[in-house]
Amino acid sequence: MVPVTVEQVVLLAEDGSAIGVEDKAVVHHADTPLHLAFSSYVFDSAGNTILTRRALHKKTFPGLWTNTCCGHPLPAEDMEQAVLRRLRDELGMKVASAELVLPAFRYRAVMDGVVENEMCPVFRVLTDDEPAPNPDEVDSTERVPWAEFAASVLDGTREISPWSKLQVAELVRLGPDPLAWPVADRAGLPTAVVLSPLQ
């Protein structure tokens, strides 16, 4: 495994095709270009999900509670492998696979003048492992029953990241049991996504 020194993100056209790369360190600002990302929700065998609070010194959305893990695939990196890489780097969780559940999720959000502007497929990850947060990325974690979490997000009683709020609204349409959600058709993914064939 080669360590990532300068992390780059994939820039996108409106049709989801790749049009270039930019250093992650400089891509987020008041006029952030559309780029490729992912979100993941880790569930245990009881249907609880792990929430994370973003580190207080992060450039984008510091201190905000959100879904388990977000990130950006490197240029030409398999997106499932990118999900697993970020779970390992941010939470010390070594998992074998991630399942696509929302292939076409897209959002734009602003906080303190910094914009997120992403095509951001959403993945489900199943493991009973406990997280060991990397303080450079994650301030703290909480394990919550999915039904309780989803209800509190939808009724506005839980403060959560703007992308997670939008994702939850789409995820609940997949059914009440997150362990039973269908794996999504990859045809809905942005064309820039690299994803290995299903085994």
Which residue in 14, 22, 69, 70 is the catalytic one?
70
Element (H, E) at 167: helix 162-171
Known binding residue 130? Answer is no
According to the annotation, is 116 in a ligand binding site? yes
57 assigned ligand-binding residue: no
Alpha-helix residue ranges (DSSP H) falling in 28-113: 79-91
7 given a catalytic annotation? no
Q: CA-to-CA distance for 148 and 153, rounded, in angstroms?
A: 9
| Residue among 69, 118, 120, 137 flagged as catalytic | 118
> Is 35 annotated among the ligand-binding residues?
yes
Terminal CA-CA length for the chain: 22
DSSP state of 78: B
99 is catalytic: no
DSSP classification of residue 2? P
Strand 35-36 vs strand 114-119: parallel, antiparallel, or unpaired? parallel
Tell whether 72 is in a known binding site.
Answer: yes
Closest CA to 49 of 99, 156, 124: 124
Annotated binding site: 28, 35, 72, 90, 116, 118
Annotated binding site for Mn(2+): 28, 35, 72, 116, 118
Annotated binding site for Mg(2+): 90
Active-site amino acid positions: 70, 118
